[in-house]
Amino acid sequence: MQFVLKDLLIDTEARTVCRGNQLLELPDLSFDVLVKLIERAPSPIDVETLSDTVWRNVHVSDETIAQRIALLRKVLGDSPKAPVYVRTVRGAGYCVAGKVRRDDGASIKRSISKIFEGRRAASGLIACGVLVAAWLGLEPRVFEPDEQLTTIASADDQATLLVQRAREQLRLHQAEETDRAIVMLRDALERAPDRAEARLALSVALSTKATKFRGESREEAEAEALARGLTREIPSNSNAWSALGYSLSSQGRTHEALAAYRQALDLDPKNVSALSSAAYLLLSKGDLQQALVLEVRAKNHGGASRYAEIQIAQVLELIDHPAALKWQDRALTMNPQQAVVLSEIARSKLRRGNPKAALQTLAQYEGRDGSAPLLLVLEARALLALGHSDDARDLLSRAGWRGHFDLAAIFALEGYTQYAESTFSLEKRADLASDPDPRLRIQLAEVSAALGDENEAIDLVSQAVSLGWRDVLWLQQSPFLQDLMATERGRQIERRIAREVAAQRRLIEATEEFDLLLKG
């Protein structure tokens, strides 16, 4: 549905706000607030209603809402003293400043004229162009920023420019920008098929899409093929081996990925990407001491890892060290609005039995990839802990395969066992035997427990611990494993994890890197 507020065109389906031929970049929460104000117009909406409808029944303070209104005004170019779009109504909340009408199509047609008259290739027109095409029933056309390319005669130089632009898009760590980078890199390879840096960047982009957004198996395979080709052609290139490790990790092939990262580090011990990525895999395998050592080395080499601080915080939290909170705060300071950082902090709140705090953390995210499976699954688990199973099911269904196991466990608890039982097909059991990821065992254990098979659930959790699972609080707070962990066999597993964690803590406290960490 489209609305017009003065010179703004708001499309609630495309989730875009355009002023003429300019796309305004509104974070998700700001857009939701604007839509609620428009839907309530001309009446004001109070802060309690905003909290209930925009923040999904999670209590947020009046100050948080006031800050969100301030952010909305900033993007719109509005002023609280002389409001053009949003005004404060004393004692009643907030209201749009002006008449709202549903769009009859004329505004969109005028936007078409402006866009096609200028035929400018500014990236801000892309979303508006897609919006226009969707309204007309046309095939969406993305206007590539090719004006500068046409002035460059050499195909090789054109490819260089496209790779540079793609890398800029990838640094934003957003779903839409990652897709855009992939398009640019494919274009670069059409112009210069043998360009190694384009193939390397495309491999990384495809693996990023697979791990953080909604990648497909064919894209994972393509990322691996590109990286393997580069390691054969340029075996001394550390970054090619790092890209291969990334592609293997995205497919859950942890042992192979670690081998590739080790090769990358043999070639370049200061390869920050390989250091941090290998640290993540070691963390998942329960080798907390080595994970911490590699992450500290990455930081000491001056690398710009987005995940170093939050992964250090994870290690410290698992060994129950008070410095974990300091590193969480540092992660937020150095990488604000980063999806992985916020999701890990939300996970920390969940494992400590505070689902409301987890939801408040997730609500801080302002990126356009708010529907990333990583975020949806955590939000669903928080809502489930608060008793909102319908909302949790909806989020998990939107999360694709990443939400499959939690969704199956919920259905099993509610008596719909067929879907849950399908997760234990013979094919999946065969895959399980060769999969070293302990997280998969925990997910399957949750489904087994929900189905009432306590023996299989305990066996799967035990396998996970053998493969490196070290998070006892997550097991204790799991809505599917709580009862199981309260049994004697569950307590035996807890004691086993405690021994493993204590051993890792002793190793960590004896390392030079740990002393440097605390001093820093």
CA distance 146 to 150: 6
Which pLDDT band, with edges at 50, 70 and 90, does 90 fall under? confident
Instruction: Quote the pTM value.
Output: 0.66
Provide the sign of the torsion angle of the four alpha carbons 378, 380, 384, 387, taken in this order.
Answer: positive
Specify the DSSP class assigned to residue 97: S
- Per the CB < 8 A criterion, the answer to whether 131 and 108 are in contact is yes
Higher pLDDT, residue 378 or 103: 378
Q: Which of 103, 44, 101 has the alpha carbon at shortest distance from 69?
A: 44
- What is the share, in percent, of the chain residues with pLDDT greater than 70? 83
CA distance 121 to 124: 8
**Three-state DSSP state, 193:** coil
Residue the block writes with tokens 């043999």:
266
What pLDDT does 144 receive?
Answer: 42
pLDDT in tens, 135-152: 333 333 333 444 455 555
**Type of residue found at 151:** T
Q: Which of 516, 474, 443, 482 has the alpha carbon at shortest distance from 318?
A: 474
User: What mean pLDDT is predicted for residues 492-501?
Assistant: 97
What pLDDT does 431 receive?
Answer: 62
* Residue-level length of the chain: 520
Helix/strand/coil (H/E/C) assignment for every residue in 244-278: HHHHHHHCCCHHHHHHHHHHHHHHCCCCHHHHHHH
**Type of residue found at 482:** Q
Q: How many CB atoms lie within 10 A of CB 90?
A: 6
Cα dist from 282 to 19, 30, 192, 426, 470, whole Å: 48, 38, 37, 29, 12
What pLDDT does 505 receive?
Answer: 95
- Is a pLDDT exceeding 50 seen at residue 134? no
pLDDT in tens, 21-56: 677 877 777 888 898 888 888 888 888 888 878 876
- Is a pLDDT exceeding 50 seen at residue 122? no
User: What mean pLDDT is predicted for residues 327-341?
Assistant: 84
Compute the chain's Rg from CA coordinates.
25
Helix (H) or strand (E) run with residue 510 in it: none
66-81 burial code (b ≥16 CB/10 A, e <16): eebbebbbeebebeee
Within its chain, how far is the Cα of 151 from the centroid?
37
Number of H helices, E strands in the chain: 28, 7
pLDDT in tens, 393-434: 888 887 777 788 898 899 888 888 877 777 666 545 656 666
What pLDDT does 424 receive?
Answer: 65
Q: Which of 86, 103, 1 has the alpha carbon at shortest distance from 44?
A: 86
Residue 215 half-sphere exposure toward CB, CA atoms < 13 A = 25
What pLDDT does 428 receive?
Answer: 58
pLDDT in tens, 280-313: 999 999 999 999 999 888 888 765 567 888 999 9
Q: How many CB atoms lie within 10 A of CB 334?
A: 15
Which pLDDT band, with edges at 50, 70 and 90, does 460 fall under? very high
- What is the share, in percent, of the chain residues with pLDDT greater than 90? 38
184-213 burial code (b ≥16 CB/10 A, e <16): bbebbbebbeebbbbbbbbbbbbbbbbbbb
CA distance 274 to 269: 9
pLDDT in tens, 228-282: 999 999 999 999 999 999 999 988 888 899 999 999 999 999 999 899 999 999 9
Which own/partner pairs from 296-299 qualify as long-range (CB within 8 Å, at least 24 positions apart)?
A: 296/513, 296/514, 296/516, 296/517, 297/513, 298/272, 299/520
- Is a pLDDT exceeding 80 seen at residue 221? yes
- Per the CB < 8 A criterion, the answer to whether 446 and 478 are in contact is yes
- Is a pLDDT exceeding 60 seen at residue 184? yes
CA distance 97 to 84: 6
Q: Which of 313, 294, 291 has the alpha carbon at shortest distance from 303?
A: 294
Within its chain, how far is the Cα of 336 from the centroid?
13
Q: Which of 234, 142, 89 has the alpha carbon at shortest distance from 244?
A: 234
Which residues share a beta bridge with 147?
Answer: none
CA distance 479 to 384: 8
